[in-house]
Structure 1
Amino acid sequence: MNDLYVLYRGPLASCNYDCPYCPFAKRVDPPELLRADRADLARFVEWAATTTDRRLSILFTPWGEGLTRSWYRDAIVRLSHLPHVARVAIQTNLATRTAWLAGADRDVAALWCTYHPGQVTRSRFLDRCRELDDLGVRYSVGVVGLPEHHDEAVALRAALPPTVYLWVNAADGHVYTTAEERRWTELDPRFPDSVRPHPSLGLPCHAGETAISVLGDGTVRRCHFIPTPIGNLYDGSWRAALRPRPCSNALCDCHIGYIHLKPLHLRDVYADGLLERIPAAWPPSRAPKSVVPTR
């Protein structure tokens, strides 16, 4: 069975946090948009349920926070029980309850969790992580690599089980010194993947071949970062559109994009943990070394 990685993003853009580095902070969606988002997601789930000739791996990448909406929780539970779905994951701030995951197949469902200092206390975030541990849910945890987040990230790493992977996203617009890059790499060995954009123009990419980006109306793109449509999910035109293509962008600087660049071989690095951002070799044979916070 052929693998297909699907990144889904509906119209939802509301979030319960107001992070200063996010353009969608504290945005409130009107009721009609929420109804449209719910209907779009239901249609997508039905497509996934009936597309049984592909082994699907699905990552929800909402602009806002999806798990505060019941329809995303319900979708993950349902999709996790479909025999042809290898993985279903979502990017989340982990602010909502986690007990609903007891109804999911925890061998399939997974979370990509982001800790936002200043929006939630570390202790409350860690309580949610412990709930996931108790439920046996696969998850990664990460932070945006701003200088003011470093001490919190160090403390988070020390408090998490060594089996939990902690990733760091390079902050947009921040130029890292050699010393800063070293400090962040001590926390996340894969931080060098994120710290500078990857030249991508003309390079072969899985996007548009075995990975696609889907909008709420079914528009299919190669990836989130190349806006030209290549088909639609619901009229079947996406099938004929799948083929090898070189990247048409000069640079690729987002994890959900560059993991598909073939020369980087990051599918080999992450393997079954590609969507929830957990390297296959994690945990390492030795626990991450202790890092002393700087003041």
Structure 2
Amino acid sequence: MDLTLLYRGPLASCDFDCPYCPFAKRRDSPDRLRADRAALERFTGWVAEQRGDRLRVLFTPWGEGLVRSWYRRALVELSRLPHVERVAIQTNLSCRTDWLAEADRDTVALWCTYHPGQTPYDRFLGKCRDLAGRGVRFSVGVVGLPAHREEARRLRAELPPHVYLWVNAAEGHAYTDAEAGAWAEIDPLFPYSRHPHRSGGLPCRTGESVVSVDGGGTVRRCHFVRAELGNLYDGSYRAALRPRACPLAVCDCHIGYVHLETLPLYDVFAGGVLERIPAGFPAVSRTPGA
């Protein structure tokens, strides 16, 4: 079996206070943290046992995972498994980075988001440069709010040239053509994020070669469709894997629409779909058609 798994456990706590995030500065109870750790260890144990499969894993926690030792350990352990082609995580990069010395850097990758006002710019940039010096695969991004644009430009100018900087359209924000053009100067692929993508009735890889898994092992086609396909740990999900159309009218999140078969993003991000690194970057010139 060839499968991509998007894992999201109970963790919901974060050390940042971003005004656009509903989980800002949320604290998990000790019981919830223990439950999250146990769920993650169960998941990584399952992955380790699937030696006959080809797997890719993206951790998409609501909170910040890498400040927790069990997420760092999971990335190191999974990166060293021969049947795991990629293991990546979304992170605000507030954690230390020395633990990556233990990971297989051909397999591990980070999807890093810079949140202006939440962490000093120089600290974030320094960690990015440290990652680059360690040979770690990573992308960097920002939310495309007007107040973030100048810092995003500065970050693009000061990041190592081989590091892709993406821009996510801010939820609920309508961009004029001039505004969108300014963001596209920073991220040539911003046009893909500017508008939600029509998805209803269109073919999508989720539910066939891509699935979402929660802390209890419940498998869904993606994070945004609540219908259950079965459970990871009893194997019941396997019979439900098949090509299927998206049941939602639109898809407005990159971790969802990147899997739409009507978009060319598997070619655009070939080899870097999970960590959001375009193929051949920095020579990125492909944009959506009219």
Relative to the length of structure 1, the TM-score reads 0.95
Mapped to 1, the partners of 2:31 and 2:129 lie a distance apart of: 36
Offset of 1:53 from its aligned partner?
Answer: 2.3
Matched, 1:200 2:199: yes
Tell me which residue corresponds to 1:161: 160
Question: Equivalent residue for 1:117?
Answer: 116
Q: Is 1:104 the counterpart of 2:103 in the alignment?
A: yes
Q: Classify the secondary structure of the residue corresponding to 2:78.
A: helix
Partner of 2:34: 35
Q: 1:134, CA displacement in angstroms?
A: 1.6
Partners of 1:53 and 1:279 in 2: how far apart?
29
Judge which range, 96-105 or 259-268, deviates more: 259-268
Aligned-residue offset at 1:285: 8.0
Residue matched to 2:277: 278
What's the secondary structure of 1:272's corresponding residue?
coil
Secondary structure, aligned partner of 1:173: coil
**Larger CA deviation: 90-99 vs 259-268:** 259-268
Structure 2 unpaired stretches of 5+: 286-290
CA distance in 2, matches of 1:242, 1:147: 41
Matched ranges for 1:1-295 at <5 A: 2-284=1-283
- Cα-to-partner distance string for 1:139-168 (whole Å, 9 max, x where unaligned): 000000000000000000010011000000
Does the Cα contact within 8 Å between 2:132 and 2:160 map onto a contact in 1? no
Aligned-partner Cα distance in 2 for 1:194–1:16: 26
> Counterpart in 1 of 2:288?
none
Mapped to 1, the partners of 2:45 and 2:259 lie a distance apart of: 26
Cα separation, partners in 2 of 1:285 and 1:196, compared to 1, 3 Å: closer
For residues 116 and 229 of structure 1, what CA distance do their matches in structure 2 show?
A: 33
Which residue pairs with 1:289 in the alignment?
Answer: none
For 1:180 and 1:110, how far apart are their aligned partners in 2? Answer: 31
Offset of residue 64 of structure 1: 0.3
Amino acid at match of 1:59: L
Q: Distance in 2 between matches of 1:22 and 1:75?
A: 25
Q: Is the contact between residue 144 and residue 169 of structure 2 (CA under 8 Å) also seen in structure 1?
A: yes
Q: 1:285 to 1:51 in 2, by over 3 A?
A: closer
The aligned length equals 285
TM-score by length of 2: 0.97
Residue identity over aligned pairs, in percent, reads 67
- 1:293 matched to which residue of 2? none
Deviation (angstroms), 1:133? 1.2
Letter in 2 for 1:73: R
Amino acid at match of 2:206: A
- After superposition, give the CA deviation of every residue in 1:83-132 in whole Å (9 maximum; x if it has no partner): 00000000000011000000000000000000000001110101101110
CA displacement 1:155-191 (0-9 Å, x = unmatched): 0001001100000000001000010000001111111
2:74 corresponds to which letter in structure 1?
A: A
Gaps of 5+ in 1: 287-295
- Distance (whole Å) between structure 2 residues aligned to residue 285 and residue 13 of structure 1: 34
Cα distance in 1 for partners of 2:124, 2:254 equals 23
Rounded to whole Å, the distance in 2 between the matches of 1:47 and 1:160 is: 37
Give the CA deviation at 1:3. Answer: 2.2
* CA RMSD after TM alignment: 1.0
